[in-house]
Chain A
Amino acid sequence: MAVIMDVKEAVKKIKDGMVIHVGGFYAVGTPEDIIDEMVKQGPKNLTLISNDGGAPDKGVGRLLAAGQVKKLIISWGGRTPLIPELVDKGELELELNPQGTLAERIRAAGYGLGGIITPTGLGTMIEEKFGQRVTFNGQDFLYHTPLKADVAIIGAYRADKAGNIIFRRSQRNFCEIMAMAADLTIAQVYKPIEEMGALDPDEIMVPGPLVDILVQQTGEERVMWR
């Protein structure tokens, strides 16, 4: 059963040097209350794995601005000019992954697989930098290792006290697979956390036992225009 925790207590679980999955796509699905508290408590030298670099005032962009990130693993960072600046200064290690490769490496970690083999990125910079070419049945692929984290922080729309989660619309993105690919999963829940039995079992997207901590969101979801 998931534990309901104050955001301050939950973020104390995040220590210096940890690897963190941060759910969200353009920061939709990124738990901003948890990010607020991470900026306040200030764990440092973090490795963040996320779809994108958020924006200067949204998602992982805020942790970059606060100087808490050592390494960033993303597929796109075009809204956060700080990323190339920090890389140029040698203050940030950046690993770009094709988006589908990133998703599948995370899924592999959560599903107990030894990695992925994908045709994506053959003959590109991905192969030069870290993809290992393998051949099966005459077809070439790139092998990639799984991506596991110490902690996953994700957004959720509804949750019950068992930890069962339902996402809304495009909030789901990386949150669903990240919930399974970390030692500790913390979900920030938009709607008031519900009693067990309130959610239809057929509509649950992350099974409760895979979620460790629920944090009740207090404010409205933050909207940021492109």
Chain B
Amino acid sequence: MEMNKLSPREIIPKRIAMMFEDGMLVNLGVGVPGLVPQFLPKGIKVWLHAENGSIGAGAPVPPGGEVDPFMVDASWQYCTMMPGACTFDSSKSFGIIRGGHLAYTVLGALQVDEEGSLANWVVPGGKLAGMGGAMDLVAGAKKVIIATEHCSKDGSSKVLKKCTFPLTGLKVVDYIVTDLAFIEVTPEGLVLKEVAPGVTVEEVVSKTEAKLIIPANVPEMPI
């Protein structure tokens, strides 16, 4: 293996960061989606929306640090606020989401399928937590980007013909960005737009359960 090979936690957020434009309002889920801001090109800044009622929440305060006890981000981290930040109540927060005011939401996936349906909130028989704001985010954001490893830990594809887990949203996904591929969801089906550096089209096809539409030219991700 090459020494400088990028990890999934670099490939995925780096490719997604290239889609962001200066000043966009976006909502990022926990995990890999939250890494996207680290990879934004120089000079590009985006506004981060948090479900619990803020735009412009800043860096998390390390545990034990001095905090404002009234300020947490959407993943229960005490945090600062950026200059220009604002706060609001939950009704307005979800009005911002459902009203189409978010350019993108970036979320993780358990499963995503050929029709652009997403399952990311509960595994059948698994520990029950709840959907939180995920169903509203996929229903309301202008574009839904899925950031996920292409395969599960057991090697099975997460990009399926049809999701089998309970859905977060039906036909809601626009882009699927994995450690192997950049895929666009179109009315005709899933189009393989790019492959990750060093990955072949054949490898992507062999690791994808869903049917992929393969254009004549599939370039490498320009990351």
Contacts and interface: CB of A to CB of B under 8 A. Distances in A.
A172 to B, nearest CB: 5
A77 interface: yes
Interface in A169-185: 169-177
Contacts of A123: 117, 167, 169-171
Contact of B53 (A106, A122, A173): A173
Interface in A99-128: 99-101, 103-104, 106-107, 118-126
A77 B76 contact: no
A84 B128 contact: yes
A100 B136 contact: yes
B166 A124 contact: yes
Contact of B67 (A78, A107, A223): A223
Contacts of A28: 52, 69-72
A51 B72 contact: no
Contacts of B89: 167, 172-177, 205
B131 A76 contact: yes
Contacts of A103: 90-91, 93-94
A13 interface: no
* Interface size class, chain B: 35 or more
A127 B68 CA distance: 39
Nearest to B71: A169
A99 B132 contact: yes
Contacts of A220: 69
B29 interface: no
A77 B91 contact: no
Contacts, number: 157
Contacts of A98: 131-136
A176 B135 contact: no
Contacts of A177: 89-91
Interface string B195-222: 0000000000000000000000000000
B127 to A, nearest CB: 6
A81 B53 CA distance: 25
Contact of B140 (A77, A79, A83, A120): A120
A167 B78 CA distance: 17
B167 A125 contact: yes
Interface string A6-22: 00000000000000000
Contacts of A126: 135
Interface string B51-68: 111100000000110011
Interface in A201-219: 205
Contact of A172 (B53, B117, B132): B53
A26 to B, nearest CB: 4
B91 A75 contact: no
A157 B70 contact: yes
B139 interface: yes
A71 B70 CA distance: 28
Nearest to B90: A103
Given A76-B129, A99-B94, A176-B89, A170 B52 contact: yes
Q: Top 7 A-B pairs ranked by shortest CB distance?
A: A123-B170, A100-B94, A100-B136, A78-B129, A76-B130, A221-B69, A98-B135
Given A81-B127, A118-B139, 12 more contacts: A25-B53, A98-B131, A98-B133, A99-B94, A99-B132, A100-B90, A100-B136, A118-B98, A120-B140, A172-B90, A173-B53, A173-B90
8 contacts: A26-B76, A28-B71, A101-B136, A103-B94, A104-B91, A120-B98, A120-B135, A176-B91
